[in-house]
Structures are given as C-alpha cells and as structure tokens.
Amino acid sequence: MARLCFDYGHGGIDPGAVYNGRCESDDALSLGTEIANRLRTSGVIVDETRTSDIILSLAQRSEYENRNSYDYFISFHRNAFSPEVAFGAETYIYTNPGQAATEMAEKIQNSMVSVGFKNRGVKTADFYVLRETVAPALLIEVGFIDNSNDNRIFDSKRNELILAITNAILSQLGIKAQSSEVTLENPKTIQPITISKNDQKIYRVVSGSYTNRLNAEKQVQKLKASGFEAVIMVYDN
C-alpha cells in the first residue's frame, strides 16, 4: 500500500508569504489536507507533518518523515516575489534527484498548469526538506500569493486543482484515479419512499444514485453548500 508524507509549509508564528491579509501557511494547509483526504479514499496512506496552524522547524519536518518509510515526501507552498509581478506554478526537486522524484514532480507540475497556472517548470534546489528527507522529495509552489490572478485561479478553480494534483499523484503511484465528474452513475427510476407511522407520512427527496461513494459525497457537499440537509444512505442493488 502506498504511503506518503505531506508537509504544509510554515505555520503558527511563521505565516510564510503574506499578501493583502492572505497567508501562505493557511493556503498550504487547506489545499494539502483536502488532497490528502481525496487520496485516502483511494487507499493511499497519507501522514502529515502538521494538521493545524502550528510552527515546525525544518529539522522537525524532515525528522518526522525519516521516522517512517514513505514512497514520497511532498511539501506544499505558495510563492512570492514582488506584488503583482511574478506568476505561475513551479515544482522543486533536489539537486541530484532520482527517477521517482523527477517523474512525480513532472506529473504534479503538469496538473497545476492544466488548471490555468503559468508553467514555470520543474527545478532543482538545495532546500533543507529536499536534502534531509529519505524518500523521493519534492516541494510545490502553487502559484504566487502576491499575484491576484494566481489567487483567482487558486480560489475559483480550487476543486479542479485538488482533483488534478490528486490524480497526478495517483497516476505516479499506479492507482486508478477517481472520476472528476459528479454524475448520476446508475440512472434509473427511483420510487418515492414513504414511511407511515400513526397515519403520518414522511416524504424523502432523492437527488441521485451513485456507485462511487466519492461522487455521492460530492453531491452531499453541493447540497449542503446550497443550504439543504443531505445524508448518504447505502442500499444493496
């Protein structure tokens, strides 16, 4: 079973890059944790160096990774340069990377570009967390936090970005990616369910039937976001 170590840059009293009140540490954590959850639905084990807004040293991050055996170490960041000047996504690997790190970096880089970020390429660097971790390691910069258009892509295409990176990782791991579409997979006539008790009837509204639980969960999230109560009920065919 594949096992990954996710690292979310900065945190706590170290917010990382900040622009118009937006913090790199928050973006890295929120994006990375959602990708981690998606990967877990496909059976991938994902451990995380932090799951809340706390500060960790570079040594603590690499030591966490080194305590276990991982297939990959991926550190999530957002870039910064000068307000509204630089833009795009880039991925870093160590100065003498192996084939595994290079292939994973290229797949993730292409996935970020596919949702609209400028392609700044895969680069090498002597970053501490790339040098001091045992597993094939990469550090991704998901757009520039001090660029309004990159932030627009990060926010407006968030779901597409999460799915694209998730599927890139699964592809490298040799695991079939889940569908990125929320569709009615098992279309059929659904009879209304009525429950009679003391001459009272309860009417249930069914919005869809799915054979893929991930797609069912997406539909529940959409309904809740629109202000509707929604739950998943499991039935045998």
pTM value is 0.76
The rounded distance, in Å, linking the Cα atoms of 213 and 235 is 12
Return all residues near 128 (Cβ < 8 A) that are at least 6 apart.
Answer: 58, 59, 62
pLDDT in tens, 75-87: 999 999 999 999 9
Say yes or no to pLDDT of 224 above 90.
no
Which of the four pLDDT bands, split at 50, 70 and 90, describes residue 183?
A: very low
Say yes or no to pLDDT of 192 above 50.
no
Q: How big is the chain by its Cα radius of gyration, in Å?
A: 21
Say yes or no to pLDDT of 187 above 90.
no
- What mean pLDDT is reported for the chain? 86
What mean pLDDT comes out for the span 105-129?
Answer: 98
Q: Is 49 helix (H, G, I), strand (E, B) or coil?
A: coil
Q: What is the pLDDT of residue 204?
A: 46
What mean pLDDT comes out for the span 42-60?
Answer: 97
DSSP string, 177-235: PPPSS---SS----PPPEEEETTEEEE-------SSHHHHHHHHHHHHHTT--------
Q: The tokens of 179 are what?
A: 């569908």
pLDDT in tens, 150-173: 999 999 999 999 999 999 999 999
Strand partners, 91: 122, 140
Residue type, 35: I
Say yes or no to pLDDT of 62 above 50.
yes
Which of the four pLDDT bands, split at 50, 70 and 90, describes residue 27?
A: very high
What mean pLDDT comes out for the span 191-208?
Answer: 44
Q: Where are the domains of the chain?
A: 3-173, 181-237
| C-alpha angle 163-168-173 in degrees, rounded to nearest 5 | 125
CB atoms under 10 Å from CB of 184, counted, come to: 12
Sign of CA dihedral 92, 95, 97, 103: positive
Closest to 66 in 3D by CA, of 80, 78, 79, 49: 49
Which of the four pLDDT bands, split at 50, 70 and 90, describes residue 212?
A: low
Q: Please, where are the H alpha helices in 41-198?
A: 58-66, 99-114, 128-131, 148-156, 158-173
pLDDT: which is higher, 200 or 74: 74
CB atoms under 10 Å from CB of 210, counted, come to: 17
The rounded distance, in Å, linking the Cα atoms of 190 and 175 is 33
Superfamily of domain 3-173, CATH level 4: Zn-dependent exopeptidases (3.40.630.40)
Which of the four pLDDT bands, split at 50, 70 and 90, describes residue 209?
A: low
Q: What is the pLDDT of residue 177?
A: 73
| C-alpha angle 38-88-134 in degrees, rounded to nearest 5 | 55
Q: Is 143 left (phi over 0), alpha (psi -120 to 50) or beta?
A: left
